[in-house]
């Protein structure tokens, strides 16, 4: 019987036949696909014909179809629904894939053909897209070590192989620690907790086959527990466990893995001729240099810390009023901030949350996409990788645009966080294909599923990424959708969050879970006024992580990574009662691979643009202005990575923004 991963997928939307795929299929399929792509690569490299764009770059873009199919399925499943078998496969596959990629980029004949084309690109009469694809292909090979020789080239291969192993181990250690820790709640521990959290704690226990109620290290459970539990002793236990992920010693400890990754990244950067890894990484981003990133982060840090210090004094006083005569700690902040929010804005999350039903917020995200871009969403019943997943056929004017998959609930087999990925990216060459896009979140499961306002923002955020994929309209997959610099990729996602703040959207879709009543105007007003509440805390915890990431990669490699983390936080005068959003041992953005290494700042870089980009709609007085929506799609969402980000943004807005737009949006203007 033909391996279902390698067979023709005669399925709706040509999606993977998940109901026919077993874990036993992946290894044999991957080996076949690797061999198949390597044969294609060798055929291109060994051609006797003079290199042309068609016989080299087009041929490269057309290669590896089987490999793309296998990996798109495996990575989707292993990230969102892992098990022991899939974790073992990931440990086996990571070095294989790194070695394969090194063999491709290390093929001297292949690189010679690409280099020849690049050196003569002005004579080739290429289209703008073709020139962009050629530039990116050449640059990718060079940055992977293709221009190195001898021992330097071999060392580069060793580094890439080792980094792939370390990144996989880091991720799996983190998942194991998040999966294994639980806090059992007795009758006293439940006192003071809102009903939605009790329901979520019960569902978490049922998923693990445990009687009673538990708090896990899922953000959807741990954060509301820290907000609402009056038991300071339990908050301390929960916070310390959350903060210590990946740093508990033993074979799941991530500190030494992160240390070795920093050393290897630095060595790789030097081999390629750069001062350090930050200089290497940022060269291809909008920021360009570590100095530009540091300048942005410093500009935000100063007013954010000033606000956080003021807030800390208020929360400290509130705690003393409760008779707790000690310093405010990290496990106290969220609890007293929630009490303060309730008092200051007369806003009680327990009363607000029933208005943010998951299903209604999905409809809200879809509804905004319909009004802005004319997209329609029809639910379809097809086999997917987990029973919690759901899918929609996305059309415009009756024409199929994309398949969208939503995987919204937290579970022990899913890594933490939220993300968007494309199981298939949009492209026109070598053959037309529409995208299959997945949004993955970690919301607490209940019936009905209720979200916090921040959860709803996360849903809109990830759907903004999905729109970037679904509305892509380019020829080559290499420049499709979210294939853009890290500090530009967050623009569409963070920009889309703003539509959740539009009062008419809330009035249309924020309906009470029990009564069905639409949210009242005065409650909408309170929610929007409170949207920037505690922004000093939120900004400080994020910027601290971004500064640590940058400093790790922009200076000499520390002898002890945790000592270095402490020194950096000391230098910036980190508030005592606020922790980094991602401490080093669980900083998955940076150490579960190199995707955001030296680039965690990118969320804030993009936020400078998103605040300004939405201001264009505000200036029109219409959040659904059709001319602006068309410009946004035409100049940014449809373009993928086909142009330089600065040029794409200028085409939309006519100018580049400044940091003042971000500070104003966060209410941090001094």
Considering just the CA atoms, what is the radius of gyration of the chain in Å?
A: 25
Contact 201/185 with Cβ under 8 angstroms? yes
Cα separation of 614 and 624, whole Å? 11
213-215/183-185 β-pairing: antiparallel
Contact 177/252 with Cβ under 8 angstroms? yes
**C-alpha distances in Å from residue 359, one per residue of 17, 392, 454, 512, 516:** 26, 13, 16, 12, 13
Say which residues have a Cβ less than 8 Å from residue 599's Cβ, sequence separation at least 6.
Answer: 281, 282, 285, 486, 487, 549
Cα separation of 236 and 233, whole Å? 5
Active-site annotation, residues: 462
3-state SS, residue 45: helix
CA atoms within 13 A on the CB side of 220: 31
- Can you list the alpha helix ranges (DSSP code H) found in 393-473? 453-470
Paired tokens of 538? 């939120």
DSSP summary character for residue 633 = I
Nearest to 101 by CA among 133, 63, 72: 63
**C-alpha distances in Å from residue 12, one per residue of 76, 382, 391, 402, 507:** 18, 7, 11, 12, 36
**Preceding amide of 268 cis, omega within 30:** no
Nearest to 580 by CA among 594, 592, 568: 568
Cα separation of 36 and 25, whole Å? 17
Contact 129/479 with Cβ under 8 angstroms? yes
3-state SS, residue 512: coil
Paired tokens of 446? 């209940």
Chain centroid, CA 431 distance in Å: 29
Contact 435/414 with Cβ under 8 angstroms? no
For the chain, the distance separating the N- and C-terminal CA atoms, rounded to the nearest angstrom, is: 68
Contact 633/373 with Cβ under 8 angstroms? yes
- Can you list the alpha helix ranges (DSSP code H) found in 146-276? 150-180, 187-190, 195-207, 219-228, 232-243, 255-271
Cα separation of 159 and 651, whole Å? 40
Cα separation of 648 and 653, whole Å? 9
Nearest to 166 by CA among 255, 86, 83: 255
Nearest to 86 by CA among 95, 94, 77: 77
DSSP summary character for residue 13 = G
Cα separation of 94 and 164, whole Å? 6
């Amino acid at each position: 019987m033909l391996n279902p991963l390698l067979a023709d997928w005669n399925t709706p939307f040509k999606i993977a036949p998940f109901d026919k795929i077993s874990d036993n299929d992946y290894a044999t399929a991957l080996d076949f696909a690797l061999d198949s792509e390597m044969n294609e690569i060798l055929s291109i490299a060994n051609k006797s014909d003079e290199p042309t764009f068609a016989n080299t770059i087009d041929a490269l873009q057309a290669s590896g179809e089987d490999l793309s199919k296998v990996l798109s399925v495996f990575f989707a499943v292993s990230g969102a629904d892992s098990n022991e078998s899939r974790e073992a496969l990931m440990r086996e596959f990571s070095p294989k894939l790194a070695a394969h990629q090194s063999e491709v980029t290390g093929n001297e004949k292949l690189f010679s053909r690409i280099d020849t084309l690049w050196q003569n690109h002005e004579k080739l009469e290429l289209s703008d897209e073709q020139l962009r694809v050629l530039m990116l292909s050449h640059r990718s090979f060079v940055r992977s070590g293709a221009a190195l020789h001898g021992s330097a080239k071999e060392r580069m291969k060793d580094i890439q192989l080792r980094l792939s192993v370390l990144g996989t181990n880091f991720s799996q250690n983190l998942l194991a620690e998040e999966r294994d820790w639980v806090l059992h709640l007795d009758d006293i521990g439940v006192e003071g907790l809102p009903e939605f959290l009790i329901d979520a704690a019960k569902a978490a226990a049922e998923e693990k086959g445990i009687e009673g109620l538990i708090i896990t290290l899922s953000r959807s459970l741990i954060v509301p527990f820290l907000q609402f539990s009056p038991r300071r002793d339990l908050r301390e236990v929960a916070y310390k466990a959350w903060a210590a992920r990946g740093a508990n010693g033993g074979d799941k400890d991530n500190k030494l893995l992160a240390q070795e990754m920093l050393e290897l990244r630095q060595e790789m950067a030097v081999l390629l001729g750069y001062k350090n890894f930050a200089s290497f990484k940022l060269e291809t981003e909008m920021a360009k240099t570590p100095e530009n990133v540091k300048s942005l982060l410093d500009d935000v840090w100063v007013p954010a810390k000033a606000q956080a210090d003021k807030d800390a004094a208020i929360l400290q006083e509130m705690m003393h009023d409760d008779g707790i005569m000690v310093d405010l700690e990290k496990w106290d902040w969220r609890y007293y901030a929630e009490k303060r929010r309730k008092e200051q804005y007369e806003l009680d999350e327990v009363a607000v949350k029933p208005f943010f039903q998951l299903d209604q917020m999905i409809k809200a995200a879809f509804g905004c996409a319909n009004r802005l871009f004319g997209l329609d969403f029809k639910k379809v019943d097809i086999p997917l990788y987990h029973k919690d997943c759901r899918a929609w056929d996305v059309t415009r004017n009756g024409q199929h645009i994309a398949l969208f998959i939503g995987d919204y609930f937290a579970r022990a087999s899913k890594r933490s966080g939220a993300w968007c990925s494309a199981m298939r990216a949009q492209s026109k060459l070598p053959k037309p294909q529409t995208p299959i896009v997945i949004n993955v979140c970690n919301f607490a499961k209940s019936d009905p599923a209720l979200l916090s306002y921040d959860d709803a923002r996360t849903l809109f955020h990830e759907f903004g990424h999905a729109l970037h994929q679904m509305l892509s309209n380019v020829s080559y997959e290499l420049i499709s959708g979210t294939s853009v610099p890290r500090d530009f990729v967050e623009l569409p996602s963070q920009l889309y969050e703003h539509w959740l703040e539009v009062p008419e959207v809330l009035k249309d879709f924020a309906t009470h879970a029990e009564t069905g009543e639409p949210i009242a105007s005065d409650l909408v007003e309170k929610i929007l006024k409170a949207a920037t509440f505690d922004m000093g805390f939120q900004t400080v915890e994020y910027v601290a992580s971004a500064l640590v990431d940058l400093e790790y990669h922009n200076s000499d490699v520390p002898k002890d990574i945790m000592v270095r983390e402490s020194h950096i936080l000391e230098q910036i005068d980190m508030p005592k009662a606020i922790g980094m959003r991602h401490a080093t041992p669980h900083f998955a953005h940076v150490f579960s691979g190199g995707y955001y290494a030296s680039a965690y700042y990118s969320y804030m870089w993009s936020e400078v643009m998103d605040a300004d980009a939405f201001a264009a709609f505000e200036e029109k007085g219409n959040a659904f202005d059709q001319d602006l929506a068309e410009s946004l799609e035409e100049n940014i969402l449809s373009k993928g990575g086909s142009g330089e980000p600065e040029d794409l943004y200028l085409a939309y807005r006519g100018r580049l923004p400044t940091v003042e737009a971000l500070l104003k949006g966060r209410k941090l203007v001094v």
